[in-house]
Structure 1
Amino acid sequence: MAELATIVLAAGKGTRMKSKLPKVLHKIGGKSMVEHIISTADTLNPVLNIAIIGYKSELVKSNLEDSNVKFAYQNQQLGTGHAVMQAEDLLADFTGSVLVLCGDTPLLTADTLNRLFQQQQREGIAAAVLTTEVEDPAGYGRIIREQTGDVAQIVEDKDATAEEKKIKEINTGTYCFDSQLLFSALDKIDNDNAQGEYYLTDIIEVFKEENNRVAAVVTDDKSEILGVNTRRHLVQAGKILQKRICNQHLDEGVTIIDPENTFIDQEVEIGRDVIIHPFTTIEGETEIGDGTVIGSQSRIIDSKLGSEVTVEHSVIREAEIGDSTKVGPFAYLRPGTEIGKEGKAGSFVEIKESKVGNQSKVPHLSYIGDTMIAEEVNVGAGTITANYDGEEKHKTEIQSQAFIGSNSTLVAPVEIGQGAVTGAGSVVTRDVADNTLVLGVPAKEKNSEGEN
């Protein structure tokens, strides 16, 4: 089997999106459209991925910085043929097959691309074109077939005759070429057409003139060839992708009560027997352990949840939650939050950049910031760790088995000792020793006779 390279066309502006962003950077399923198509193509193990970039190229380049991609620049958008020409130098020493893909077709599957590649290789032909049949082909290039079934020509919609416009088999804009024949043919096309552009489709006629075969690979799944040109298309593509993602999780043992009203990014990992209630959004590289229950209207971003966790109506962002911990309702766990096993962050609790130990509980109406809470600590309602003095952030430490009374204010930097207790309403400005009770404003130690 010959080697494979890919070219992804990502240079256009996408004026119909009415956006400051290049079209290919609009996201579905947590990733930009161009990321989707490149990651799909990458499953075929190409030796080289090339992205053709132009409009706001630095933004596209930045978006793909973690991908194994080289870049070629199309500074003037003079058509798809012209775009592919820009990759010639990068492929000068390459011999094999070249997949040409559009950066605005995020729904193409690896199976379909592999079929296209395999047919071009198996038959040793100049090109294989991915096609499909639609009831309304308006706007698409039409596939003109020879009697043998090979592709004779692809006619763009604006250049098609009335008879050609009746053809329902369309070009999807996805191809697999013999690399040597591809660039040889590109040298022979011109821009003598209604758009004044260099059409990639024109090389089909060049191949035929040189007696090189072009075959069609038909996909019956019309949804995967959807090209996104407008915000409506973006919504349509997003719904199709969400259905795929939810079906995959359902097949792997996840219960999704209402898939049509549940939004899960493609990179999310979910264990078995997880139950997800409607209007939940799970984003980024979130991981959820077995048996966890996610309540309605929760949002979880780039977080790791253990097994048997319960989340109700809460926002969790870049946090780690241990097994059998309860979160919410209406909790906000901000970046840097770590909660151990069998813990609790209850109703209207906000935690950021803090560690909460095993079996420790912050049940309600509290703010915990820049704090280390050890194991088996109880934090009463209305507690605040006052971590900011107007210039700098400071740390609070609460040792194991401490009991923080309701409406306590812990003014950092401060440490509450093991087994220590703060009375309700206390303002703690100094460290509290182990097994000590403090009361008042400011809090003072209560002696054995019951006096301060």
Structure 2
Amino acid sequence: MARTCLAVVLAAGDATRMKSSKSKVLHTVGNLPLIAHVTGSAAAAGVRKIALVVGRDADAVAMAARSGHDVPIAPVMQTERKGTGHAVLMAKDIIAEGYDDVVVLYGDAPMIDPESLRAAVTERSAGADVVVLGFRAADPTGYGRLIERDGELVAIREQKEATAEELEIDFCNGGIITFSGAQAISLLEAIGNDNAKGEYYLTDIVEIARERGLKCVAIEASEEDMMGCNTRAELAEIEVVWQQRARHRAMLSGVTMIDPATVYLSFDTELGNDVVIEPNVWFGPGVRVGQSAVIHAFSHLEGTVVGAHAQIGPFARLRPGADLAEKVKVGNFCEVKKARIGEGAKVNHLSYIGDAVIGAGANIGAGTITCNYDGQNKHLTEIGAGAFIGSNSSLVAPVKIGDGAYVGSGSVVTMDVPEDALAVARARQETKPGRAKRLREKILAIKALKMKSGS
């Protein structure tokens, strides 16, 4: 953005209707706080600085607002709630630094597209002094209407004050306003509070500007772009829209989703081309999946790297720190945490691999557990390339299994196993002929006695 633009983001509101113990803007969509979505869009649009008006949980809100971009954030405290006009004036000193444009955004409206913000600035640069983002509402009930005449915006009329004719208008106020940096403070200070609530409404800036002979216009964005959040139900609605957009982008980039509506993505999910995702898969933050990998149904991934051509699941859980190389297979009902698994290694069934390094081509049998926790500390298990761990084995860390070593099924391994060695750590089998028949007869006799006595 060639022009200098300041974003003033209003994020001081309480979470009363959210019925939450934390600020509304700290609630998440796509596993990213609402406020971070807003500041990220502002940064992507090219703003030079963000004045963040904070109140409740000020430090946490400011920290979240800095996520994912390097645009400077300047928090300012709003201790009293006197309306949106009053909130923007909290940033007066920052506005006074001098910017071509000032755009007002809302910390609880995370869907705003950077292109819509650029469009507003473009309209400003073409000669408008005030630009309001509006949308065509499927149901305009409750929204302020944008009143236009001869191609200019003449007023923003709240529903309770609108005439019957004005109520027929479906072009509604989205709340986001861009105005001249040179005029900003003068316009804001002219906003009065002569209304039923005694508050200073930012929307009054339109009529104030027109009274001064300034040009006001409204431009259209999508209704989805303008979605705001006041309740948990609205938060869920925004999540649905965000997920739909994220899935659509992924599929256009070359990802196959068998049942897209059942796949949950996070804000930073990275999926290579030709990745296939089966139904009911959840991607938490910090997941990167290489090309042509297959994520089978009902798998849960978080903080994980999956290499190209890997096979995950079904019903697999990859926890933070799981780092899987190419062609790795993690099968059904397996869990991997803080473990590096080498190329072509297999963890097939019902296994837990935690705090481990597994070499290329190793095979981990069904039911194998790395016993990594002693009640106080975590310990490392190292399994060499080409090693074979028999089913139902317990590897008690810290322990090393050498390259090409073989651990017999059912073993509890507590000592290192050299490369190419065979380790069997279980009791010797004893077979006693006829003993099963006598044991069964004894058990049946006890059962019959209990039934006879009624106990």
Alignment pair present for 1:192 and 2:194:
yes
CA distance in 1, matches of 2:412, 2:110: 51
Partner residue of 1:267?
268
Partner residue of 2:18?
17
- How many residue pairs were aligned? 415
Amino acid corresponding to residue 272 of structure 1 in structure 2: N
2:144 aligns with one of 138, 141, 144: 141
Task: State the shift of 1:225 in Å.
Answer: 1.1
> Aligned to 1:174, what secondary structure does the other structure show?
strand
CA distance in 1, matches of 2:129, 2:348: 64
CA RMSD of aligned residues (A): 1.7
> Aligned to 1:167, what secondary structure does the other structure show?
coil
Partner residue of 2:248?
247
> Aligned to 1:196, what secondary structure does the other structure show?
coil
Given the two structures, how large is their TM-score scaled by the length of structure 1?
Answer: 0.88
CA distance in 2, matches of 1:13, 1:195: 17
- Contact 2:388–2:404 under 8 Å retained in 1: yes
Partner residue of 2:53?
52
Partner residue of 1:398?
401
Task: State the shift of 1:11 in Å.
Answer: 0.9
My pick for the range that moved more, 74-83 or 415-424, is 415-424
- Contact 2:349–2:366 under 8 Å retained in 1: yes
CA distance in 2, matches of 1:17, 1:285: 27
The structure 1 segments of at least 4 consecutive aligned residues displaced by more than 6 Å after TM superposition are none
Partner residue of 1:385?
395
Gap regions ≥5 residues in structure 2: 373-379, 430-455
Identity %: 29
Map Cα deviations across residues 382-416 of structure 1 (whole Å, 9 max, x no partner).
222234xxxxxxx21221111111222223xx422
Partner residue of 2:100?
96
2:115 aligns with one of 78, 92, 111: 111
Map Cα deviations across residues 73-127 of structure 1 (whole Å, 9 max, x no partner).
112221111111111112322221112111111111122111111111122x221
Partner residue of 1:276?
277
Partner residue of 1:171?
173
1:76 aligns with one of 77, 80, 98: 80
Partner residue of 1:373?
383
> Aligned to 2:63, what secondary structure does the other structure show?
helix
Task: State the shift of 1:18 in Å.
Answer: 1.6
Partner residue of 2:357?
355
> Aligned to 1:364, what secondary structure does the other structure show?
coil
> Aligned to 1:333, what secondary structure does the other structure show?
strand
CA distance in 2, matches of 1:157, 1:409: 73
Amino acid corresponding to residue 173 of structure 2 in structure 1: N
Change (3 A) 1:14 1:161: farther
Partner residue of 1:436?
none
Gap regions ≥5 residues in structure 1: 388-394, 427-438, 441-452
Map Cα deviations across residues 238-269 of structure 1 (whole Å, 9 max, x no partner).
11111111111111111100111111112111
- Contact 1:189–1:202 under 8 Å retained in 2: yes
Partner residue of 2:154?
152
Task: State the shift of 1:162 in Å.
Answer: 4.9
Amino acid corresponding to residue 126 of structure 1 in structure 2: D
Change (3 A) 1:76 1:266: same
Change (3 A) 1:62 1:3: closer
My pick for the range that moved more, 179-188 or 132-141, is 132-141
Map Cα deviations across residues 124-157 of structure 1 (whole Å, 9 max, x no partner).
x2211001122422222221223x2211111233
